[in-house]
Structure formats: structure tokens, C-alpha cells
Amino acid sequence: MNTRRHFIALLTAAAIAPLGANAQTTAFDHSHAAWDALLKKHVRWLSDGKQSRANYRGFATDRAALKAVLDGMSAVPRTTFDGWSQPQQMAFLINAYNAFTVELILTRYPDLKSIKDLGSFVQSAWKKKFFTLLGDERHLDWIEHEQLRPRYNEPRVHAAVNCASIGCPALRDEAFTAAKLEAQLEDGMRRFMGDRTRNRVKGGKVEVSSIFKWFREDFEKGHGGFRQVEDVFAKYAELLSDQPAEQAALKARTLGVSHLDYDWSLNDTARDAGR
């Protein structure tokens, strides 16, 4: 009888163990479906397909759904995160940055014109600890500068994280996912480089976003073959200019570089409605 009970116990344990393991690995939705739905509902591309606007009034109406997304992200323990693939980790961190940025804007919306209004003389908006992620209280800079940039050596992340400003590369109308990460990063970079309000050739120089000044070193670490920031402009020459001579100069890396002022105005749909 004892032998039979022992045999049954072993069978039960064998059946339960895989279920428990699967439950742990599938507990987080790597399709980011809930965040994806909010983005599809409240983010729209402008007619040029290079810039987007966020409907913060709409996000405010769906604040409960946004909170559920953020709570789900905050519930992920570091040990679980560490067991994910690199694309899963990156998609999670990019989505977290963008979702928590929307939440930060909503803490004072509509009474602000820029995310910078949420900071102070002693602490920028990006240094405010207002959420929990991977087990500790965090700020937005922690995600970008202590996780995404140093851990993954992927400069195109600068075209993926969005700081709720006109000058930023566009906020996508979809969530980042591991399965589509490479395509999404490249698409975001191409849209950004093709936006002549942020990057262009003019007056015999290449005029580019200040992102290439602030994070120049990220574009010079060899990822994608980039050894100097001018390599980026050479790769995307056809997006920066329509003129064959200018494209050739970009590829030859003979143009001087200047950096455009950054527009920190809120990327709000109400802006275009004349609020």
C-alpha cells in the first residue's frame, strides 16, 4: 500500500512540475496586448508617417487600463526578467519606459506644456522615482541609462523610447515585442532619419537631432557597423536627402555636422487641434 501511494505521489509530482514551470514562464504576456491596445487607440501617425501624436485625454479616460498595464510590469521580479531572452528584455524595458512616461504626463495633464514642467531645479522629470520595476523604486533614467544603453549596445533604442516631446523620435502606435523587435527598431530609426524636421542636409551640412550629440558614443560602439556617428548618416543617406550629390557626400562622410535645437513641447494631439 505504501509503495502504491508513493507511486501515485511521484506521478502527481511529475504532472504538476511542468505546469508550475510553464505557469511561471508564461505569467507575463510577452505580446504586450493590453499596452498594444492602448497605443492603437490613443496614438496616431501624422500624414508624413514620420511623427506621431499621443491623445493624452484619451489615455486619461483609460487610466484604469493603463494602471493595469503598469501594475503588470511592476509585478515582474528580477529573477523572472533575468530568465527572459534579450529581445524579450529589451521589448519589456522599452514598453515600460514609454508606458510610465505616459503615466508621468497624466499626473499633471492637461496643465503642462512639456515633460520638463514636471521637473524642478534640483531634479529633472527623468530622475523622479515614481514607479516600481524589477523589485525597486525607479525613475525613467534608470531604464534608459542604467539598463537599455549599457546592457544591450543597441543605438536604435534612441528611436524607440519616447520622452513625450515633439523633438523625440515618434511614439509607435503598437507595443514592442520580442518577435518584431528588430523590424520595429529599424522602422523607428528609418522614420526618424527620414523626418526632415529632425534630420536633413542643408547649406552644405548635415543638420541632425541633438540625440546624436548627447548619445554620440552609443553610435560609435560598432553595432550595425557604426564606428563613428557619420557612419549612421552614410547608411541612411537616401532618407536625409533626395539629392544624389548630397547623398554621395553623406556616404563619403565629407559633410560637416551641426545639431538642431530640441523641441520639448508635448507631443499631444491637442497641440494640432489648436489648444
Element (H, E) at 105: helix 86-106
Of 52, 51, 53, 54, the residue nearest 62 (C-alpha): 54
CB 16 within 8 A of CB 23: no
- Amino acid, res. 75: A
Percent of the chain with pLDDT over 70: 89
DSSP 22-47: HHHHHSS-TT-HHHHHHHHHHEEE-T
Domains of the chain, by residue range, sit at: 27-197+263-275, 199-259
Residue 225: predicted pLDDT: 78
Name 147's Cβ contacts closer than 8 Å, sequence gap at least 6. 93
**83-123 tens-digit pLDDT:** 999 999 999 999 999 999 999 999 999 999 999 999 998 89
**185-228 tens-digit pLDDT:** 999 999 999 999 999 999 999 999 999 999 999 999 877 778 89
Mean local confidence (pLDDT), 32-55: 98
